[in-house]
Amino acid sequence: MLRRGRFERAMDPLASEYISSMEADSRIFYSVVQINLAHTIMLAERRIIEGSDAAAILQALYKLHEHGVSGLDLRPELEDIYMAVEDFVTKATSEEVGSKFNTAKSRNDQVATAIRLTLRKNLLDVEEKLLELVNALIALSEKNTDTIMPGYTHLQVAQPTTFAHHLAAHTFAFLRDVERIEQPTMSRTPVRWEPAR
């Protein structure tokens, strides 16, 4: 925790619990692990940390990924999922290797990236369901090309149409939603630079 070295005594457990974001952070757990895997590989490729240290960190992260969030120590004193992952890696490797875990990585970048990755995954899940719905509407439309129904405008009966045509209108609306999900906005990294200290 950032406050460890600033106070002579431990933080009150109620204060730790109040500032802890563990419960909310558990939803972004897998994204946090993915970020750290990618970052560790980059550190090794750029020779910022030794290959053996990177291998130890990667092994710990893969092990953590297998165990899931239940593999973490979620004590409120650790404050958030990022500190819990660092704690896990340090215990699985060593203090020396664990101290290199966050090299060239800001907490702000981790938070923004983890949230973005999680949202992107959730949006892709929604897109998959939307495409299933679109396919179901198309199949239903194909069965109802001759089914006549009234068209409506401003809640008033207007010209006759087919049920297939009515379903097509909804299908195109859902396809527009799919197009919005596929826009590159959610695929862009929010990582820019380390904040000034």
φ, ψ at 60 (rounded to 5°): -65, -40
- Please tell me the predicted confidence (pLDDT) of residue 20: 58
Domains and CATH numbers, the chain: 10-105 (1.10.275.10), 122-187 (no CATH)
Give the count of beta carbons closer than 10 Å to the beta carbon of residue 102.
17
Q: pLDDT confidence of 1, banded at 50, 70, 90? A: very low
For the entire predicted model, the pTM comes to 0.76
Whether 74 contacts 21, CB under 8 Å: no
**pLDDT, tens digit (0-9, with 9 covering 90-100), for 53-106:** 999 999 999 999 999 988 888 777 777 888 889 999 999 999 999 999 889 988
Give the whole-angstrom CA distance, residue 56 versus residue 167.
Answer: 55
Spatial CA neighbour of 105 closest among 56, 29, 38:
38
Residues near 43 by Cβ (< 8 Å), separated by ≥ 6?
A: 49, 54, 100, 103, 104
- Please tell me the predicted confidence (pLDDT) of residue 194: 54
